[in-house]
Chains A and B, each alone.
Chain A
Amino acid sequence: MTPAIADPTRPVVRVDITENEDVVVVRQRAREQGRRAGFSLLEITKLVTAASELARNTLEHGGGGYAELEVCIDGIRRGVRMRFVDEGPGISDVEQAMRDGFTTGKGLGLGLGGSRRLVSEFAIDSAPGSGTRVTVVRWK
């Protein structure tokens, strides 16, 4: 992942994810950050949709956690970085979990694989018993 530096003039926004309505709050914050980064409507829509999928994963599979969203810069590029953190059961086979259609919950299995297609960079750090941390960046 590009060592993008956070924009010091823009603070990190943190959203706790403990219930359904919090997923909606994450979407709203993602939209705001996308606007601050100067994203187009389509870029914002993709960012917000990815945020929604990942926040739902944090809630459904991680048992809740939090999200951090910030505008980041790399040279003249601007983007939005989003981090989703939970202390849930973790994922034993990350590669399998990334595959479309793989699901352990009631969803469609498009959460991880689908959201990866909507962002520029995607990193996942997870192991059984040690929670899951997903970090994504979408560049303008």
Chain B
Amino acid sequence: MDRIPILRMGRTLLVTVQVDMHDQLAVRLLDDLTEMITKTRARGVLIDISALDMVDSFIGRMIADVAATSRILDAQTVVVGMQPAVAITLVELGMELPGVRTALDVERGMELLNDAGDR
């Protein structure tokens, strides 16, 4: 069964999406992440989508759902590495991902999560 691996670094979960995701894979990632947040008591989720060459409304909604679910479970989600062409297309599609924190790369994403953890 296909699965996107989730790495744990301290109290942060790190996901690097490297495949062209079909819908069920995206749904499974949301389920797995939710379970992992609870199990590991993670405070942050970092999703690296720099390898994704398109984000459509379904994947966009999955990202928004991860952010919303993790917030309820007291964890912050940061999405990093979105390609400029993907960002432009998402906005034109009508998805602006409200409530999703973003950063340019993994390093800055980690900084954001660490800052949030210090508070």
Contacts and interface: CB of A to CB of B under 8 A. Distances in A.
Interface of A: 20-21, 23-24, 27-28, 31, 41-42, 44-46, 48-49, 52-53, 56, 100, 107-108, 110-111, 113-115, 117-118
A11 B34 CA distance: 45
B107 to A, nearest CB: 24
Contacts of B115: none
B93 interface: yes
Contact of B58 (A21, A28, A42, A56): A56
Contacts of A108: 57, 60-61, 95
Given A45-B53, A49-B54, A20 B24 contact: yes
A109 to B, nearest CB: 9
B57 A24 contact: no
Given A42-B88, A52-B56, A53-B56, 17 more contacts: A20-B24, A21-B22, A23-B22, A27-B20, A28-B20, A42-B89, A45-B53, A45-B83, A45-B86, A46-B89, A48-B54, A56-B23, A107-B58, A110-B57, A111-B57, A114-B94, A117-B93
B118 interface: no
A110 B93 contact: yes
A84 B22 CA distance: 18
Contacts of A111: 57
Contact-size category for B = 20 to 34
A46 B53 contact: no
Contacts of B95: 108, 110, 114
B1 interface: no
Interface string B19-57: 011111000000000000000000000000000011111
Contacts of A28: 20
B56 A117 contact: no
B94 A117 contact: yes
B57 A20 contact: no
A57 B89 CA distance: 19
B72 interface: no
A113 B94 contact: yes
19 contacts: A21-B22, A23-B23, A41-B85, A45-B53, A45-B83, A45-B89, A46-B92, A49-B56, A52-B56, A52-B58, A108-B95, A111-B57, A114-B57, A114-B92, A114-B93, A114-B95, A117-B92, A117-B93, A117-B94
